[in-house]
Each structure stands twice: as C-alpha cells, then as structure tokens.
Structure 1
Amino acid sequence: MSVLQRILAVQVPCPKDSWLYRILPSVSHKPFESIDQGHVTHNWDEVGPDPNQLRWKPFEIPKASEKKVDFVSGLYTLCGAGDIKSNNGLAVHIFLCNSSMENRCFYNSDGDFLIVPQKGKLLIYTEFGKMSLQPNEICVIQRGMRFSVDVFEETRGYILEVYGVHFELPDLGPIGANGLANPRDFLIPVAWYEDRRVPGGYTVINKFQGKLFACKQDVSPFNVVAWHGNYTPYKYNLENFMVINAVAFDHADPSIFTVLTAKSLRPGVAIADFVIFPPRWGVADKTFRPPYYHRNCMSEFMGLIKGHYEAKQGGFLPGGGSLHSAMTPHGPDADCFEKASKAKLEPERIADGTMAFMFESSLSLAVTKWGLKTCSCLDENYYKCWEPLRSHFTPNSRSPTEPK
C-alpha cells in the first residue's frame, strides 16, 4: 500500500474539499432503489430507554460456511442519538463479516465513519486510493466517500458515525504543540484506479437519511486517476499515541487520552470523542489508580480491541462492549477495587498488551432493539460485578499525622 503523510489537513482549520479526476463521471449510474435494510437503523424509539449499566459479550461473527456476509450486510446498529436530517447526532455500529464486497461499494450521505477493527485485516478501496487496516489501527471514511472492503478471515469491529460534523484533533491547550495524536502520524492514500467494466453491473449502496439504497453502473467507481485536496479518508496507528498522564497524585480525566473529537456548538462538550486507554506507566502517589467510581453527563460506550482492561478483572472481553449512560454510576469491579486498594504504590506498567477505547458523547444514547433484545450477547449479569463491594469506612480511625 502506498500512503503519504498528511499534516495540515488535520491540524489547521480550513475549507474541506477535493478534486477527483475520473475516467467516467460518477453520475453515470441507474436510479437508486430501496434495498433490504438489514440491521442498520436510526430509529431511537424502537424500544424503551434503559438507564442500567449494559455490557455485551463478544459479538458473534457469522460462519462463512453457513452464510456469506460482507461489510455492508454485516452492519448492526447498537445505539445512537440525534437526527440525521438536521445533521446532529451519532450512531454506534458493529460490523461482523466473513467475505469481501465483490463488485459492491458503499457510501454514507449521512455522516463520517470512524472504523475500529478488532479482529481480522481489512483492505479498503476508496476513490482516493487503497488503505490496509488491522487491529490497533483506525481509519476515517468521511461523508460521501465511496469505499469497498476486502476481508481475509472472519472479521469484527466497531464504527462511530457522526452527523453534520467531522472528526478533528482535540485542542491541546496547556499541553502545547505536541502530544496525544500528532498530525504527522496520520496517513492518507495516494491515487490508485481500476478501469474495468463489470458484467452484470457494479452495485453502489448509499445510506441516505438512515435508509439503504442501491443503484447499478457499468464501471468500477474506483476510476480516479488523480486527485488533490484536503477532504480525504485517513488512517492512524494507535501505537503512535503520545500518552499524557498524572505523575504526582490523583486520577486524570480520560479526556487526556482523546485521539479525535467531533465538536458540538457548546465549548468543551463534544458530539463524540474517540478515546483510547493505551499501555503506559502509573506513578501517582496517595491515589486509587484505576478509574474512580463516577457519574457524569456523558454517555460512554467502551470496546476492547485486545488484552485485559485494567478496571475489569473479567467479563469485559475483546470484541464485546459496554454502555454507561449519562448519570448512571459505574467504575471498577469489586476484584479490581480490592487489589488496587492493597497495592504498593510504586511505578507500574498499566495495560501492556491491551488496547481499550471509548466512544464518549454528550448526547443520551438510545440502544436499538437489536442491542437489547435480538442480540444474544447482552450480559444479563453485568451488575453482579459490583455486588461484592464492601464498606471499609472506619469513622474512629485516624492517621498518625491527623490532629486529635
């Protein structure tokens, strides 16, 4: 795969556009017609709201021997909020596939896709060129860009879709010029094209106002021989993230691990943040080092790409997920609390061999019928991980330095 580094396009605010030079204009296609919607939805009223802590076991990938499922037919909407027609909101999707998209491509008229593979390598063909993607890497396919996905084995991953805004790097503030996800590490494809006619027609699938449509055309849509501009797909390797962390005391807010953000009109509050929890050193003194118990105004969907998340000793597995809704309390399970409370506070490596992430939003996310009812992976016993917590409060005990 040939890629180039892209710096200014993701660093400096500027108009977004690109010029594509094609063998044949993309308007050369038959009319769009509605197709089977599968499990893609933006109806947030399918089932009633559920404020409970929710967790899903690893989402099951269909067996290729039973049924071939490609990237589009393997999309499942898990939760979301907002309204596509007014360009405000987001959705979280899971993709579960076992075959490549053959003579089919997809584009999204509603928003941007941030794709997080968890299992299996992807080869993504776009109008701008090709990108390979594997677990511990992410890519963003922006609104309106046509792409097709080849897979080589059973494949699973997560998608964060945002409407009306684009992902960008967070403001670094006091951190300064460098840190977190550095612009130099974002990669974009170079022009690649295929000039071929497709017997029986090439299928172009479009998601428009939350519904799926398809049309036929005689030629491949990836017939762009050259392009220039700053509105492009791009990828990023999570291993390049420069971690910022507390080095004295207390537990810093997870916003210090923000890779990309999709801002809202309210300063400091995002439509969506993509946050990771990478390997790092823990050195804070006089501190309970794991994430503290909390309630907040944000909705937090978490997924695990690999390894073992430090705040959960079991049950939160790669390929699964959890959702903690606005103002619903959550935090480390009982085993994690007991071990961290007794641990010697010396420098320690945290999350080696692990990569967990969070889709965080200021919107209150509704879970779909598939997520709550149809999917067989919902963990009905999640709440039990906190049941063994016991009080350690000793009101008559004082430390030696505390005044009597």
Structure 2
Amino acid sequence: MTMAGLKYLSGFGNEFSSEDPRCPGALPEGQNNPQVCPYGLYAEQLSGSAFTCPRPTNKRSWFYRILPSVRHKPYIAMCSGNLTESWDEVEPDPNQMRWMPFTIPKTSENKVDFVTGLHTLCGAGDSKSRSGISTHVFTCNTSMVDRCFNNSDGDFLIVPQQGKILVTTEFGKMMVEPKEICVIQQGMRFSVDVFGETRGYVLEVFGAHFELPDLGPIGANGLANPRDFLTPVAWYEDREVATGYTVINKYQGKLFSSQQDFSPFNVVAWHGNYTPYKYNLGNFMVINCVAFDHADPSIFTVLTAKSTRPGVAIADFVIFPPRWGVADHTFRPPYYHRNCMSEFMGLIEGHYEAKEEGFQAGGGSLHSVMTPHGPDGMCFEKNTIAPLKPERVAEGTMAFMFESSFSMAVTKWGLETCQKLDKSYYKCWEPLRKHFDPKWRPSKQ
C-alpha cells in the first residue's frame, strides 16, 4: 500500500481487505471478532444483505474502528428540503419532458453542500417496502464540514457532471471526476468535498444492489470490466469534534440528524465484499452493430439493479460513449420508440446525436412508460441523406440513461419549482413531415 486514499483496490464484487499503513497489523488474523482487537479497536459488521443470502449474493464488510458508530445522540427529524419520496404531489403527466441545465447556486448568495443541494426529480415505489427508484440532481458549491450522510433506504449511484468531488467514506477516500461514477451502497456513511460550483445526477435504488449485467452471447469480455472498478484504501482520522459532528440519516424518505463528538471516519482497517466503488466510463468496452440495423441500447449497460423478474431491472445505468458507426442501409441515430420502461437521460458533456441543440449538458429528459420519443426533425432529415461511411459517433460526448421498469412520477420541484422544464420540447418533432409516396416502387437492379 502507498499513501492512504491515493491508491485503490481493483475488482468488482470480490473480497477485499485494507488497513491504514499508519497501523500495520490492524486487521485481525484468523477471525472477524476477536476478544480484543489489535490497537484496542472495536469490531463492527456492516451487512448489505440478509445473513442467509446465498454466498454469491451475500454482502458484508467488517470494520475495525476507534469508536463504534452506535455511540451517538438520538436522531431527530430535520428539514428534508427538496428531497422527497412523495410521488403524488402533482398530477401524472405522460408528456415528453426536458429540463435545461439545472442552476448551481452562487457561493456569494448561498452556501449549499451536497446534502442540502439534493433535489428529487422523479421516482416511483417505496423505501418502506424496499422496492423502488428515485432520480435526484445535486447542485452545490460548498464542502460538507463536520457532517456526513447515511442512506438507510438504498444505494446511491453518483454521476458528477460539473466539478470533481472528493468522497470520504468509512472505507477511505475517492476522488470522482466528470465521466467517472461512484456507488455508495446502503448504510455507508460518506461526506462530499467540492472545489467550486458542482453539479451532477444521482440514481437511487431501494431493495437491490447494483451489479454487472450478464453478458450472454457476448461472451466473457465486453462492456464494463470487473477489474476497472476501484475500491478505496483504508484511511482514518482520530478526531474529536467539541462543537459536535452531525450524522444525517435518510430513513423512509425523510432526513434525520444525530450528534456525536467524534469523526465517523475512524476505521483503521476493514475487509469484506460490501464496499463503495468508482468507475471510469472511459474504460467501457463498447459493443455495437457492424452489419445493419440497431442492437438494443441494453448493449451499453454499465450496471444493473435486478428485480425478481428475470431480465427486468429495477434500474439500469446505461451510457452512450464515443464509438464507431458502420452499419449499412441503416438510419444510424436511435430509432423512434415506445418503451415499457421509463428512460431518464442526462448529458455530461458534448452534443447528443439525436438532439444536438436542445439537449444540454447539466440538464435532462424523461420519456415515461410508453411515451413516444426519438430523433428530432433536423436529425432525421440529415441522417436520411447522409453517406453511410464509417464515422465516429458521439466524439467528445458522454450521455447516459437511467432506465427503470417503474413508471416514474415527476415531483413538484421538477415540474414547477426548479423552473427549468422546457415547455417547448415537443416542438423539436414538429418539423417531421410526411414522406409517404403510394406510387413508390422498388428500383430494378
């Protein structure tokens, strides 16, 4: 190990172990919970699955920490801001929706950290029954100071769009930049440092954890490689906080806070297979069509949270990275489509091929269950006459999609309060004109 927090352990879903190099031998040998732990540490287990889950899905990690997390004052309710799980605030709306880039507050006007900058845009289901999904955006300008966040409801998949974030967890630190993602799984405490105006997206799932999708006929290699997922190295701080350290807990869709007089990031060593992790989207191995027509966008899936129905996801995280387009006799942009899934799209950088003008980085779009969508009028006209030579697609662009089998409801903040909803979105399809010619006949070769 080198300096804590600067190196990572690589792999996905494997058993890892790490100790802060300042305390060699902090990991007990031969057992998880000895009568006396090395260095006088406390042993504490974090379980991410039922104890009796089959071994391939059983998730847990052991901490060896200076003080256990149980030592805190009682939780009390706090203002949840624009974080919500109330899906009936406004009437359902099946229309195509697009949001312009979400506003980042200016530091001179209002200091906002990651937690207070969370805004729920849409979602469905229920954290109490452990089945559902939420899509959030975060816009912030200030680091979290002497406070951390704990999500008792589900996993957070965090997608920075503007500004890098330094995520401190009980397992160690992760620097996450745009075109990288990180996953903080249920129950893991973390704090976020920012370095200026910062914006991004969060996919939250209840009742399942993210995993790599099955590859099927693709075979052993392709899409996201397990070895490219990185887990932090143990790092601890033995710090007393006389003014009080705040632990914020998201529980049943509401926020609660408790006070303690020490930093929660006091884990000297840990081992297990239930960890936070990060991934560089540039490492994704793209699979694409090389003959004609389209493969379905599922070939771009990075991570999936499976439901109990085979082949149906609570949520998929899908990206549309730079790649080659070579298909013959094919309208190459995405096809016109109605889907039994909900599709929220975001843009990290560049210009999305199907809507190069109106869809902007830092904004988003939602095409709900069975709501028709597809390329705008300009994209259709250009690509029906374009010469079909091999070409780079999405160069300098990174778009993504949160796809879910749930029919997502949009919050009042998303429809009204944020004032970023593009009410003219439908007009991008108005230039589509009729090309039908009943006299057309196939040309003779």
TM-score (norm 1): 0.98
**Is the CA contact 2:156–2:203 (under 8 Å) kept in the aligned structure 1?**
yes
Q: 1:134 maps to what in 2?
A: 177
Superposed CA deviations along residues 28-64 of structure 1, whole A, max 9, x for unmatched, are: 1101000011000000000010000000000000100
Q: Work out which of the residue numbers 4, 8, 13 in structure 2 matches 1:3.
A: 8
What secondary structure, in the 3-state scheme, does the structure 2 residue paired with 1:255 have? helix
What secondary structure, in the 3-state scheme, does the structure 1 residue paired with 2:14 have? helix
Q: 1:392, 1:356 → 2: CA distance?
A: 30
Give runs of aligned pairs for residues 158-307 of structure 1, distance below 5 A. Answer: 158-307=201-350
What secondary structure, in the 3-state scheme, does the structure 1 residue paired with 2:57 have? coil
TM-superposed CA distance for 1:194, in Å, is 0.2
**Is the CA contact 2:167–2:193 (under 8 Å) kept in the aligned structure 1?**
yes
Give runs of aligned pairs for residues 43-192 of structure 1, distance below 5 A. Answer: 43-192=86-235
Give runs of aligned pairs for residues 321-360 of structure 1, distance below 5 A. Answer: 321-360=364-403
Q: 2:441, 2:295 → 1: CA distance?
A: 27
Q: 2:11, 2:170 → 1: CA distance?
A: 17
**Is the CA contact 1:84–1:209 (under 8 Å) kept in the aligned structure 2?**
yes
Give runs of aligned pairs for residues 18-37 of structure 1, distance below 5 A. Answer: 18-37=61-80
Q: 2:216, 2:129 → 1: CA distance?
A: 31
What secondary structure, in the 3-state scheme, does the structure 1 residue paired with 2:133 have? strand
**Is the CA contact 1:123–1:150 (under 8 Å) kept in the aligned structure 2?**
yes
User: Please, which runs of 5 or more residues in structure 1 have no aligned partner?
Assistant: none
TM-superposed CA distance for 1:9, in Å, is 2.6
Q: 1:387 maps to what in 2?
A: 430
Q: 2:102, 2:294 → 1: CA distance?
A: 31
**Which one is further off, 392-401 or 380-389?**
392-401
**Is the CA contact 2:13–2:274 (under 8 Å) kept in the aligned structure 1?**
no
In structure 2, relative to structure 1, the CA distance for the partners of 1:9 and 1:243 (3 Å cut) is same
TM-superposed CA distance for 1:7, in Å, is 3.9
**Which one is further off, 14-23 or 390-399?**
390-399
Compute the RMSD of aligned alpha carbons: 1.0
**Which one is further off, 390-399 or 318-327?**
390-399
User: Please, which runs of 5 or more residues in structure 2 have no aligned partner?
Assistant: 1-5, 16-54
Q: 2:332, 2:405 → 1: CA distance?
A: 25
Q: 2:444, 2:418 → 1: CA distance?
A: 55
**Is the CA contact 1:313–1:335 (under 8 Å) kept in the aligned structure 2?**
no
Q: 2:156, 2:395 → 1: CA distance?
A: 28
Superposed CA deviations along residues 183-211 of structure 1, whole A, max 9, x for unmatched, are: 01000001000001012110000000000
Q: Work out which of the residue numbers 320, 338, 348 in structure 1 matches 2:363.
A: 320
What secondary structure, in the 3-state scheme, does the structure 2 residue paired with 1:138 have? strand
- Report the number of matched residues: 401
What letter corresponds to residue 301 of structure 1 in structure 2?
F
In structure 2, relative to structure 1, the CA distance for the partners of 1:359 and 1:8 (3 Å cut) is closer
TM-superposed CA distance for 1:376, in Å, is 1.0
TM-superposed CA distance for 1:8, in Å, is 4.6
